[in-house]
């Protein structure tokens, strides 16, 4: 704190991302990155964009990201006017809070969910109310079909639980809230959830947010997008163009478009992650863990006899890092990212020794 801080800076409680330690030979299962490299076409596209002397970098990138929006629109059967892109879906979400969720009634989200949502609320002065997940950590759609609200947001599958919500439940929430925006954060949908993108044409109150960080292996490139009907996209463009005209650099625009166009590679990686997840889940269940059924690239587990913080510490001593949230209801859980087969085997071997 210093006398130079604005009142805004004083009042913030920033989000704390999972750590990115600079340690060699670490088995890093804490921030839901993809264990596979991005499509080889991403590297080719970035190389082509750079050329021999990187002279293209003299020039600003396309502020409208037309090629990338076109690639996203084609893949999802949309028009480019239904697509907004940003520097990671976190930035997209930030603009959503300011452009579309700041109203005079509280927005609704689950008590156990992506912990960036309350941070954006505090940054932009958005009032919110959390609704408890059920005892088995499901979202009950009926909870969202009554209270007056200024908007609704949750991930599907939810994070950090990994539990998916069926599309008919989402349609029920959309129908019950015709005057509220419903934001579905589909960061993990490609690992087994059902996307709500197909509902965008029928519901003017639906916005679906995606990221290239998880299923497209591009967390380091920082690209995310939102899809919805054009008036929603226009509101996001207004905020973006009042903040940063060029949130995506030339390399990110080229790389992300190439990743979106390589459907075969994408599907192959998602299938591999899903297969490894299912093996990991059954091995952990075999070690006595309670495993929440996951449709994401992580699993959320608890051991009835071992304290979660102790387990995380013991794993860390063996150079394996997982995520532990010291939060109500979930402090006895660990969130474990699905790594390669070898990484997951090393994890379960270590846990067998620790818990055995």
Binding site for ligand PLP (CB under 6 A): 32, 88-90, 114, 155, 159, 185, 187, 211, 213, 219, 224
Taking the least distance from each CB to ligand PLP, the nearer of 107 and 346 is 107
Minimum CB separation of residue 305 from ligand PLP in Å reads 29
Name 107's bridge partners. Answer: 128
**What whole-number distance in Å separates Cα of residue 50 and Cα of residue 319?**
37
Taking the least distance from each CB to ligand PLP, the nearer of 113 and 348 is 113
Tally: H helices and E strands in the chain: 11, 12
Taking the least distance from each CB to ligand PLP, the nearer of 221 and 351 is 221
Minimum CB separation of residue 33 from ligand PLP in Å reads 9
Minimum CB separation of residue 356 from ligand PLP in Å reads 32
Taking the least distance from each CB to ligand PLP, the nearer of 89 and 348 is 89
Minimum CB separation of residue 64 from ligand PLP in Å reads 20
Minimum CB separation of residue 182 from ligand PLP in Å reads 15
**What whole-number distance in Å separates Cα of residue 211 and Cα of residue 222?**
8
Taking the least distance from each CB to ligand PLP, the nearer of 283 and 323 is 323
Taking the least distance from each CB to ligand PLP, the nearer of 88 and 228 is 88
**What whole-number distance in Å separates Cα of residue 340 and Cα of residue 229?**
38
In SS3 terms, 102-131 reads as CCCCCEEEECCCCCHHHHHHHHHCCCEEEE
Sort residue 330 into left (φ over 0), alpha (ψ -120 to 50) or beta: alpha
**What whole-number distance in Å separates Cα of residue 29 and Cα of residue 335?**
8
Cβ 334 vs Cβ 312: under 8 Å: yes
Minimum CB separation of residue 290 from ligand PLP in Å reads 22
């Amino acid at each position: 704190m210093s006398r130079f801080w604005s009142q805004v800076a004083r009042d913030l409680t920033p989000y704390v991302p999972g750590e990115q330690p600079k340690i060699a030979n670490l088995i890093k299962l804490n921030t839901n990155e993809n264990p596979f490299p991005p499509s080889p076409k991403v590297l080719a596209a970035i190389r082509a964009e750079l050329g021999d002397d990187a002279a293209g970098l003299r020039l600003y990138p396309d502020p409208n990201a037309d090629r990338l929006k076109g690639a996203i629109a084609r893949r999802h059967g949309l028009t480019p006017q239904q697509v907004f892109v940003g520097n990671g879906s976190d930035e997209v979400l930030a603009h959503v809070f300011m452009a579309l969720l700041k109203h005079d009634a509280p927005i609704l989200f689950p008590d156990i969910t992506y912990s960036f949502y309350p941070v954006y609320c505090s940054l932009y002065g958005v009032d919110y109310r959390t609704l408890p997940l059920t005892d088995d950590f499901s979202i009950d759609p009926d909870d969202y079909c009554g209270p007056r609200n200024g908007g609704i947001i949750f991930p599907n599958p939810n994070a950090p639980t990994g539990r998916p919500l069926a599309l008919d439940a989402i349609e029920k929430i959309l129908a019950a809230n015709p005057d509220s925006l419903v934001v579905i954060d589909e960061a993990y949908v490609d690992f087994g959830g059902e996307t709500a993108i197909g509902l965008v044409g029928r519901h003017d109150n639906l916005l679906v947010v995606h990221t290239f960080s998880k299923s497209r292996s591009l967390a380091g490139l920082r690209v995310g997008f939102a899809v919805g009907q054009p008036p929603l996209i226009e509101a996001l463009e207004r905020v973006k163009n009042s903040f940063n005209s060029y949130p995506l650099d030339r390399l990110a625009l080229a790389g992300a478009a190439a990743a979106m166009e390589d459907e075969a590679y994408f599907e192959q990686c998602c299938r591999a992650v899903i297969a490894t997840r299912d093996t990991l889940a059954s091995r952990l269940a075999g070690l006595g863990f309670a495993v929440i059924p996951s449709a994401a690239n992580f699993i959320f587990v608890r051991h009835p006899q071992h304290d979660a913080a102790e387990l995380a510490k013991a794993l860390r001593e063996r150079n394996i890092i997982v995520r532990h949230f010291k939060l109500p209801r979930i402090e006895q859980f660990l969130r474990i990212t699905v790594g390669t087969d070898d990484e997951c085997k090393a994890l379960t071997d270590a846990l067998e020794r620790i818990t055995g």
